[in-house]
Amino acid sequence: MSSDRQATAILVPELDAALIGRGSQTVAEMIIDFHTHVLPDEFRTDRSRILRSDPTFRALFNSPTARTAQATELLAEMDASGVAMAVILGYGWADLGIARAANDYLLESSAKSGGRLIPFCAVNPAWGKSAVVEAERCVAAGARGIGELHPDTQGFDITDQGVMAPLMKVVEAHDLIVTTHGSEPVGHAYPGKGTVTPEKLFRLALHFPKARLVFAHWGGGLPFYGLMPEVARALRRVWFDSAATAFLYNANVFRTVATAAGADRILFGSDYPLVSQRRAFSEAAGASLSPKESESLFSTNARGLLGLSLDS
Ligand SMILES: [Zn+2]
Protein backbone atom coordinates (compact mmCIF):
# COMPACT_ATOMS: atom_id res chain seq x y z
CA MET A 1 0.00 0.00 0.00
CA SER A 2 1.43 3.35 -0.92
CA SER A 3 1.68 6.10 1.63
CA ASP A 4 -0.79 8.36 -0.16
CA ARG A 5 -3.52 5.79 -0.41
CA GLN A 6 -6.68 6.54 1.52
CA ALA A 7 -7.13 4.62 4.74
CA THR A 8 -8.77 1.37 3.89
CA ALA A 9 -10.36 -1.40 5.81
CA ILE A 10 -7.96 -4.25 6.26
CA LEU A 11 -7.98 -7.63 7.90
CA VAL A 12 -4.53 -9.00 8.51
CA PRO A 13 -3.68 -12.64 9.08
CA GLU A 14 -2.37 -12.03 12.59
CA LEU A 15 -5.74 -10.71 13.61
CA ASP A 16 -7.85 -13.49 12.21
CA ALA A 17 -7.87 -15.26 15.54
CA ALA A 18 -8.99 -12.12 17.31
CA LEU A 19 -11.69 -11.23 14.85
CA ILE A 20 -13.19 -14.59 14.05
CA GLY A 21 -16.84 -14.84 14.70
CA ARG A 22 -17.64 -11.98 12.38
CA GLY A 23 -18.86 -14.43 9.78
CA SER A 24 -16.15 -14.25 7.17
CA GLN A 25 -12.50 -13.41 6.87
CA THR A 26 -13.45 -11.01 4.14
CA VAL A 27 -15.31 -8.90 6.68
CA ALA A 28 -13.09 -5.88 6.83
CA GLU A 29 -11.95 -4.15 9.94
CA MET A 30 -10.09 -0.89 10.16
CA ILE A 31 -7.17 -1.38 12.49
CA ILE A 32 -6.06 1.77 14.29
CA ASP A 33 -2.86 2.12 16.31
CA PHE A 34 -3.59 4.86 18.83
CA HIS A 35 -0.04 5.33 20.09
CA THR A 36 2.90 5.83 17.72
CA HIS A 37 5.72 8.34 17.52
CA VAL A 38 7.56 9.75 14.52
CA LEU A 39 10.24 12.42 14.32
CA PRO A 40 11.90 14.47 11.59
CA ASP A 41 15.23 13.16 10.37
CA GLU A 42 17.07 16.06 12.01
CA PHE A 43 16.28 14.51 15.41
CA ARG A 44 18.54 11.63 14.34
CA THR A 45 21.18 13.53 12.38
CA ASP A 46 21.41 16.39 14.90
CA ARG A 47 20.90 14.16 17.90
CA SER A 48 23.45 15.81 20.22
CA ARG A 49 21.84 19.25 19.83
CA ILE A 50 18.38 17.86 20.55
CA LEU A 51 19.75 15.95 23.55
CA ARG A 52 21.16 19.21 24.92
CA SER A 53 17.96 21.15 24.23
CA ASP A 54 15.20 18.96 25.57
CA PRO A 55 14.97 16.96 28.82
CA THR A 56 12.27 14.64 27.46
CA PHE A 57 14.47 13.69 24.53
CA ARG A 58 17.32 13.16 27.02
CA ALA A 59 15.19 10.93 29.22
CA LEU A 60 13.99 8.76 26.35
CA PHE A 61 16.87 8.79 23.89
CA ASN A 62 20.05 9.09 25.91
CA SER A 63 20.93 5.54 24.99
CA PRO A 64 22.50 5.41 21.52
CA THR A 65 20.40 2.32 20.82
CA ALA A 66 17.07 4.13 21.46
CA ARG A 67 15.32 4.21 18.11
CA THR A 68 13.50 7.04 16.39
CA ALA A 69 11.41 6.64 13.24
CA GLN A 70 10.24 8.86 10.41
CA ALA A 71 6.73 8.87 8.98
CA THR A 72 7.78 6.90 5.89
CA GLU A 73 9.08 4.13 8.13
CA LEU A 74 5.85 4.08 10.13
CA LEU A 75 3.77 3.90 6.95
CA ALA A 76 5.87 0.97 5.74
CA GLU A 77 5.36 -0.73 9.10
CA MET A 78 1.62 -0.12 8.86
CA ASP A 79 1.55 -1.64 5.38
CA ALA A 80 3.44 -4.70 6.60
CA SER A 81 1.25 -5.07 9.68
CA GLY A 82 -2.12 -4.27 8.12
CA VAL A 83 -2.74 -1.13 10.15
CA ALA A 84 -5.06 1.30 8.39
CA MET A 85 -4.45 4.39 10.50
CA ALA A 86 -2.19 5.54 13.30
CA VAL A 87 -2.27 8.37 15.79
CA ILE A 88 1.14 10.05 15.65
CA LEU A 89 1.99 11.60 18.98
CA GLY A 90 4.57 14.08 20.14
CA TYR A 91 6.92 13.05 22.92
CA GLY A 92 6.01 15.64 25.51
CA TRP A 93 8.66 18.16 24.70
CA ALA A 94 9.83 20.62 27.30
CA ASP A 95 11.54 22.99 24.85
CA LEU A 96 9.19 25.14 22.76
CA GLY A 97 11.47 25.27 19.70
CA ILE A 98 11.90 21.50 19.66
CA ALA A 99 8.15 21.05 20.10
CA ARG A 100 7.34 23.38 17.20
CA ALA A 101 9.74 21.52 14.87
CA ALA A 102 8.34 18.12 15.86
CA ASN A 103 4.72 19.35 15.72
CA ASP A 104 5.26 20.80 12.23
CA TYR A 105 6.60 17.44 11.14
CA LEU A 106 3.57 15.58 12.54
CA LEU A 107 1.18 17.98 10.82
CA GLU A 108 3.04 17.78 7.48
CA SER A 109 3.29 13.99 7.67
CA SER A 110 -0.41 13.76 8.33
CA ALA A 111 -1.26 16.07 5.44
CA LYS A 112 0.76 13.88 3.08
CA SER A 113 -0.60 10.57 4.39
CA GLY A 114 -3.99 10.50 2.70
CA GLY A 115 -5.71 10.39 6.07
CA ARG A 116 -3.72 7.49 7.48
CA LEU A 117 -1.76 9.46 10.09
CA ILE A 118 -3.67 11.44 12.71
CA PRO A 119 -1.63 14.13 14.43
CA PHE A 120 -1.63 14.88 18.16
CA CYS A 121 0.71 17.74 19.02
CA ALA A 122 3.03 18.12 21.97
CA VAL A 123 2.71 21.16 24.16
CA ASN A 124 3.88 21.82 27.68
CA PRO A 125 1.28 23.25 30.08
CA ALA A 126 4.19 24.82 31.98
CA TRP A 127 4.71 27.24 29.07
CA GLY A 128 1.57 29.12 30.11
CA LYS A 129 0.26 31.33 27.31
CA SER A 130 2.70 29.82 24.81
CA ALA A 131 1.12 26.41 25.39
CA VAL A 132 -2.27 27.82 24.43
CA VAL A 133 -0.84 29.57 21.36
CA GLU A 134 0.98 26.43 20.18
CA ALA A 135 -2.08 24.24 20.81
CA GLU A 136 -4.30 26.63 18.82
CA ARG A 137 -1.74 26.77 16.02
CA CYS A 138 -1.68 22.97 15.82
CA VAL A 139 -5.48 22.67 15.92
CA ALA A 140 -5.79 25.16 13.06
CA ALA A 141 -3.36 22.97 11.08
CA GLY A 142 -5.32 19.77 11.74
CA ALA A 143 -4.25 18.36 15.10
CA ARG A 144 -6.90 16.15 16.68
CA GLY A 145 -5.35 15.94 20.11
CA ILE A 146 -2.63 16.94 22.52
CA GLY A 147 0.03 14.54 23.70
CA GLU A 148 1.73 12.54 24.73
CA LEU A 149 2.11 14.60 27.88
CA HIS A 150 5.20 13.71 29.94
CA PRO A 151 4.69 15.69 33.15
CA ASP A 152 7.93 14.59 34.81
CA THR A 153 10.33 15.72 32.10
CA GLN A 154 8.11 18.64 31.09
CA GLY A 155 8.24 19.85 34.67
CA PHE A 156 4.59 20.39 35.54
CA ASP A 157 2.13 18.87 37.97
CA ILE A 158 -0.77 17.30 36.12
CA THR A 159 -2.94 17.64 39.25
CA ASP A 160 -2.40 21.43 39.40
CA GLN A 161 -5.63 22.90 38.04
CA GLY A 162 -4.10 26.35 37.65
CA VAL A 163 -1.38 25.01 35.36
CA MET A 164 -3.68 22.72 33.39
CA ALA A 165 -6.78 24.91 33.00
CA PRO A 166 -5.68 27.21 30.13
CA LEU A 167 -4.66 24.26 27.94
CA MET A 168 -7.71 22.20 28.91
CA LYS A 169 -9.89 25.11 27.90
CA VAL A 170 -8.48 24.80 24.37
CA VAL A 171 -8.98 21.03 24.54
CA GLU A 172 -12.63 21.39 25.51
CA ALA A 173 -13.32 24.20 23.03
CA HIS A 174 -12.11 22.06 20.10
CA ASP A 175 -13.17 18.70 21.54
CA LEU A 176 -9.59 17.49 21.34
CA ILE A 177 -8.31 14.28 22.91
CA VAL A 178 -5.49 14.40 25.44
CA THR A 179 -3.07 11.47 25.67
CA THR A 180 -0.85 11.43 28.71
CA HIS A 181 1.86 9.07 29.80
CA GLY A 182 0.90 6.93 32.79
CA SER A 183 3.32 5.46 35.35
CA GLU A 184 3.07 2.28 37.41
CA PRO A 185 3.65 3.11 41.09
CA VAL A 186 5.38 -0.27 41.52
CA GLY A 187 7.68 -2.47 39.48
CA HIS A 188 10.82 -1.94 37.47
CA ALA A 189 12.30 1.39 36.42
CA TYR A 190 12.73 2.35 32.75
CA PRO A 191 13.63 5.49 30.80
CA GLY A 192 10.73 7.93 30.96
CA LYS A 193 8.73 5.96 33.56
CA GLY A 194 8.05 9.03 35.67
CA THR A 195 5.57 9.49 38.47
CA VAL A 196 2.22 10.05 36.72
CA THR A 197 0.64 7.39 38.88
CA PRO A 198 -3.04 6.33 38.93
CA GLU A 199 -3.89 8.75 41.73
CA LYS A 200 -2.69 11.72 39.67
CA LEU A 201 -4.44 10.54 36.52
CA PHE A 202 -7.64 10.09 38.51
CA ARG A 203 -7.41 13.65 39.78
CA LEU A 204 -6.91 14.97 36.25
CA ALA A 205 -10.10 13.19 35.21
CA LEU A 206 -11.93 14.63 38.23
CA HIS A 207 -10.73 18.15 37.48
CA PHE A 208 -11.70 18.10 33.79
CA PRO A 209 -14.76 15.87 33.44
CA LYS A 210 -15.68 17.21 30.00
CA ALA A 211 -12.33 16.41 28.39
CA ARG A 212 -11.69 13.16 26.54
CA LEU A 213 -8.56 11.64 28.06
CA VAL A 214 -6.39 8.71 27.01
CA PHE A 215 -4.15 7.33 29.73
CA ALA A 216 -1.25 5.54 28.07
CA HIS A 217 0.32 2.27 29.13
CA TRP A 218 -2.94 1.15 30.73
CA GLY A 219 -2.97 4.23 32.93
CA GLY A 220 -0.29 2.88 35.24
CA GLY A 221 -2.85 0.44 36.69
CA LEU A 222 -5.73 2.89 37.21
CA PRO A 223 -8.27 0.58 35.49
CA PHE A 224 -8.27 -1.67 38.57
CA TYR A 225 -9.79 1.18 40.60
CA GLY A 226 -12.46 1.50 37.95
CA LEU A 227 -14.09 -1.30 39.95
CA MET A 228 -14.87 1.38 42.58
CA PRO A 229 -18.15 3.05 41.58
CA GLU A 230 -17.01 6.60 42.26
CA VAL A 231 -13.85 6.05 40.25
CA ALA A 232 -15.84 4.56 37.38
CA ARG A 233 -18.00 7.69 37.40
CA ALA A 234 -14.94 9.92 37.17
CA LEU A 235 -13.53 7.86 34.30
CA ARG A 236 -16.56 8.27 32.04
CA ARG A 237 -14.50 10.06 29.40
CA VAL A 238 -11.25 8.18 29.92
CA TRP A 239 -9.73 5.50 27.68
CA PHE A 240 -6.66 3.33 28.27
CA ASP A 241 -4.10 2.44 25.61
CA SER A 242 -1.96 -0.67 25.43
CA ALA A 243 1.28 1.11 24.48
CA ALA A 244 4.44 -0.80 25.39
CA THR A 245 2.52 -3.67 26.98
CA ALA A 246 5.36 -6.02 25.99
CA PHE A 247 7.69 -4.22 28.38
CA LEU A 248 5.24 -3.85 31.24
CA TYR A 249 2.69 -6.65 31.61
CA ASN A 250 1.86 -10.14 30.51
CA ALA A 251 -0.96 -10.51 28.02
CA ASN A 252 -3.57 -11.02 30.77
CA VAL A 253 -3.62 -7.23 31.09
CA PHE A 254 -5.96 -6.98 28.07
CA ARG A 255 -8.58 -9.22 29.69
CA THR A 256 -8.10 -7.58 33.09
CA VAL A 257 -8.55 -4.01 31.85
CA ALA A 258 -11.49 -4.95 29.63
CA THR A 259 -13.17 -6.37 32.74
CA ALA A 260 -12.21 -3.62 35.19
CA ALA A 261 -12.64 -0.52 33.02
CA GLY A 262 -14.88 -1.88 30.28
CA ALA A 263 -14.15 -3.15 26.78
CA ASP A 264 -15.41 0.16 25.43
CA ARG A 265 -12.40 1.89 27.08
CA ILE A 266 -9.47 -0.01 25.63
CA LEU A 267 -7.38 1.21 22.70
CA PHE A 268 -4.77 -0.69 20.76
CA GLY A 269 -1.47 1.21 20.86
CA SER A 270 1.98 -0.10 20.03
CA ASP A 271 4.31 2.71 21.15
CA TYR A 272 6.08 2.28 17.79
CA PRO A 273 9.04 2.49 17.24
CA LEU A 274 9.73 1.28 20.79
CA VAL A 275 7.63 -1.79 19.99
CA SER A 276 6.95 -2.96 16.43
CA GLN A 277 3.32 -2.99 15.39
CA ARG A 278 3.66 -6.62 14.37
CA ARG A 279 4.81 -7.60 17.85
CA ALA A 280 2.13 -5.50 19.53
CA PHE A 281 -0.53 -7.07 17.30
CA SER A 282 0.41 -10.64 17.86
CA GLU A 283 0.36 -10.03 21.60
CA ALA A 284 -3.00 -8.23 21.55
CA ALA A 285 -4.55 -10.69 19.11
CA GLY A 286 -3.47 -13.55 21.36
CA ALA A 287 -5.09 -12.02 24.43
CA SER A 288 -8.23 -13.69 25.72
CA LEU A 289 -10.73 -11.17 24.43
CA SER A 290 -13.98 -12.06 22.73
CA PRO A 291 -14.28 -11.16 19.02
CA LYS A 292 -16.41 -8.17 19.94
CA GLU A 293 -13.94 -7.00 22.58
CA SER A 294 -11.11 -7.36 20.07
CA GLU A 295 -13.01 -5.22 17.61
CA SER A 296 -13.43 -2.61 20.34
CA LEU A 297 -9.72 -2.72 21.09
CA PHE A 298 -8.44 -2.60 17.53
CA SER A 299 -10.98 -0.36 15.90
CA THR A 300 -14.40 0.54 17.24
CA ASN A 301 -13.29 2.57 20.26
CA ALA A 302 -10.69 4.50 18.28
CA ARG A 303 -13.14 5.18 15.48
CA GLY A 304 -15.65 6.49 17.98
CA LEU A 305 -13.08 8.80 19.53
CA LEU A 306 -11.88 10.09 16.19
CA GLY A 307 -15.32 10.28 14.61
CA LEU A 308 -14.48 7.83 11.81
CA SER A 309 -16.75 5.43 10.03
CA LEU A 310 -15.53 2.23 8.36
CA ASP A 311 -16.04 3.94 5.01
CA SER A 312 -13.82 6.90 5.77
ZN1 LIG B 1 4.47 7.01 27.34
The one-character DSSP state at 6 is P
Q: What is the mean pLDDT of residues 6-28?
A: 39
Kind of pairing, strands 266-267 and 117-121?
unpaired
Q: How far is the CA of 20 from the centre of ligand 1 (A)?
A: 31
Number of domains in the chain: 1
Q: How many CB atoms lie within 10 A of CB 225?
A: 19
Cβ neighbors of 171 (< 8 A, separation 6 or more) are 135, 146, 177, 178, 208, 211
pLDDT-based confidence at residue 191 (cuts at 50, 70, 90): confident
Q: What is the mean pLDDT of residues 276-300?
A: 94
Give residue-wise pLDDT tens across range 237-273: 999 999 999 999 999 999 999 999 999 999 999 999 9
* Nearest to 276, CA basis, from 14, 91, 59: 14
Q: How far is the CA of 179 from the centre of ligand 1 (A)?
A: 9
Say what the pLDDT of residue 311 is: 62
> Which range of residues forms the domain containing residue 216?
13-306
Q: How far is the CA of 213 from the centre of ligand 1 (A)?
A: 14
Question: Domain for residue 312, yes or no?
Answer: no
Q: How far is the CA of 182 from the centre of ligand 1 (A)?
A: 7
Say what the pLDDT of residue 28 is: 44
Q: How far is the CA of 181 from the centre of ligand 1 (A)?
A: 4
> With 80 as the cut, is the pLDDT of residue 122 above it?
yes
Ion ligand 1 residues within 5 Å by Cβ: 181, 216
Residue 181 to residues 10, 141, 244, Cα–Cα distance (Å): 29, 24, 11
Q: How far is the CA of 25 from the centre of ligand 1 (A)?
A: 34
> With 90 as the cut, is the pLDDT of residue 230 above it?
yes
Say what the pLDDT of residue 64 is: 86
Q: How far is the CA of 93 from the centre of ligand 1 (A)?
A: 12
Kindly report which listed range (136-145, 153-162, 301-310) carries the lowest average pLDDT score: 301-310
Q: How far is the CA of 26 from the centre of ligand 1 (A)?
A: 34
Q: Return d(Cα 158, Cα 94) in angstroms, integer.
A: 14
Say what the pLDDT of residue 25 is: 30
Give residue-wise pLDDT tens across range 50-62: 999 999 999 889 8
Question: Domain for residue 6, yes or no?
Answer: no
Q: Return d(Cα 176, Cα 166) in angstroms, integer.
A: 14
CATH classification at residue 146: 3.20.20.140
Say what the pLDDT of residue 312 is: 52
Q: How far is the CA of 216 from the centre of ligand 1 (A)?
A: 6
Rounded to two decimals, the pTM is 0.90
For the chain, what is the mean pLDDT?
90
Q: Return d(Cα 285, Cα 272) in angstroms, integer.
A: 17
Question: Domain for residue 311, yes or no?
Answer: no
Q: How far is the CA of 167 from the centre of ligand 1 (A)?
A: 20
Q: How far is the CA of 243 from the centre of ligand 1 (A)?
A: 7
Q: How far is the CA of 217 from the centre of ligand 1 (A)?
A: 7
Question: Domain for residue 64, yes or no?
Answer: yes
Question: Domain for residue 101, yes or no?
Answer: yes
Give residue-wise pLDDT tens across range 110-119: 999 999 999 9
The percent of residues in the chain predicted with pLDDT above 70, rounded, is: 90
